[in-house]
Amino acid sequence: MNKTRGLTYGILAGFIYGFTPILGKLTYLEGSNPISLTFYRNFLSIPFFFVMLKYNKISLRIDKKQSKKFAILGFLASMTALSLYGSYNYISVGMSTTIHYIYPVLVTAACILIFKDKISRDKVVSLILSTIGITLFFEGSINMTGIIMAFLSGVLFAGYLLFMDKSELNTIFPFIITFYTAIFSSVYLLIFGIISKGLVFKMTFTGWFYTILVAVFVSFLANTFVALGVKYVGPTVTSIVGMLEPITSIVMGILFLDEPVTIRNILACFLILLGVLIVTLAKEKNGGETPSCHAER
Q: Where residue 263 falls among pLDDT bands split at 50, 70, 90?
A: confident
254/261 Cα distance (integer angstroms): 8
Q: Where residue 294 falls among pLDDT bands split at 50, 70, 90?
A: very low
The DSSP symbol for 118 reads: -
Average pLDDT along the chain: 86
Taken in order 107, 111, 117, 118, is the CA torsion positive or negative?
Answer: positive
Measured at the CA of 79, the angle between CA 74 and CA 84, to 5 degrees, comes to 130
23/41 Cα distance (integer angstroms): 12
Give the pLDDT of residue 283: 63
Q: Give the helix/strand (H/E) hosting 220.
A: none
The DSSP symbol for 146 reads: H
CB 137 within 8 A of CB 147: yes
CA 49 distance to own-chain centroid = 18
CB 121 within 8 A of CB 281: no
Given a cut of 70, whether residue 175 has pLDDT beyond it is yes
Residue-wise pLDDT tens digits, 85-128: 999 999 989 889 988 988 877 877 777 788 777 777 887 888 88
Residue-wise pLDDT tens digits, 14-69: 899 899 999 999 999 999 999 999 999 999 999 989 998 999 899 999 999 999 99
50/172 Cα distance (integer angstroms): 16
Q: Exposure of 178 by Cβ count < 10 A (0-12 exposed, 13-18 middle, 19+ buried)?
A: buried
**What count of Cα atoms within 13 Å lies in the side-chain half-sphere of residue 294?**
28
Given a cut of 90, whether residue 180 has pLDDT beyond it is yes
| Residue 270: CB atoms within 10 Å | 14
Give the pLDDT of residue 165: 78
Q: Where residue 293 falls among pLDDT bands split at 50, 70, 90?
A: very low
Q: Which of 72-76, 148-152, 181-185, 291-295 has the lowest mean pLDDT?
A: 291-295
Sequence spans of domains, the chain: 35-206+256-285
Residue type, 31: G
Helix or strand or coil: residue 42?
helix
CB 108 within 8 A of CB 121: no
Give the pLDDT of residue 82: 95
**What count of Cα atoms within 13 Å lies in the side-chain half-sphere of residue 143?**
14
Q: Give the helix/strand (H/E) hosting 226.
A: helix 223-233
Packing angle between helix 64-87 and helix 144-166, nearest 10 degrees?
160
Cα-Cα end-to-end distance for the chain = 27
